[in-house]
Amino acid sequence: MGLFEMTTAFDFAFTGINGQPLPLKQFEGQALLVVNVASKCGFTPQYTGLQKIYHDYRGRGLTVLGVPCNQFLWQEPAKETEIAAFCAVTYAVTFPMTEKAHVKGGKAHPYFKWMREKLGHAAHPAWNFHKLLTDKTGAPVAAFKSKVEPDSKELRSAIERLL
């Protein structure tokens, strides 16, 4: 299936941080908040808020998906096992995470290219902790810049509308 034949977020797949396939199809019927993350960024403390959102809303149909990325000043240099340990120990992260991926440019993961095609420039990550939201049907809804905190009224209101 070609990139532009993809009709929902659930048509895409990543590789999990554990090296296993991570098809988004397994989250079908849930809203998705996909966030490119990094361990050595000024926004890294947002892991706390992302975990809180996941805890607060997963029972109502939201999945948070962290996508480690090393494209912004090399702020995610670690290997997947180190990233997973850092997130678990430092921020008690339990939401699913992928292996490191490109989120911009020609090598960007197809999901990020698709979201940009659907939402325009707003969906193009300019930095770590850019947030992309899709509804329970897998349709793109909104993009939120890195500075939008996970616990912000703006993001929480957008999530609430989908659940």
pLDDT tens track for 114-140:
999 999 999 999 999 999 999 999 999
**Residue located via tokens 């490109």:** 102
Q: What is the mean pLDDT of the chain?
A: 95
Whether pLDDT at 142 is above 70: yes
In percent, the amount of the chain with pLDDT more than 70 equals 96
Please report the pLDDT score of residue 81 as a whole number: 95
> If pLDDT is split at 50, 70 and 90, which confidence band does 7 have?
confident
Sequence spans of domains, the chain: 3-162
pLDDT given at position 4 = 54
DSSP line for 101-161: ---SSTT--HHHHHHHHHHGGGGS-SSTT-EEEE-TTS-EEEEE-TTS-TTSHHHHHHHHH
Tell me which architecture the domain covering 3-162 has in CATH. Answer: 3-Layer(aba) Sandwich (3.40)
Q: What is the pLDDT of residue 6?
A: 63
The rounded distance, in Å, linking the Cα atoms of 14 and 122 is: 22
Whole-number pLDDT of residue 5 = 64
Catalytic residues, which ones? 41
- Helix or strand holding residue 68 (H, E): strand 62-68
pLDDT tens digit string along 83-98? 999 999 999 999 999 9
Q: What is the pLDDT of residue 15?
A: 98
- For 112, counting Cβ atoms within 10 Å of its Cβ (0-12 exposed, 13-18 middle, 19+ buried), the class is buried
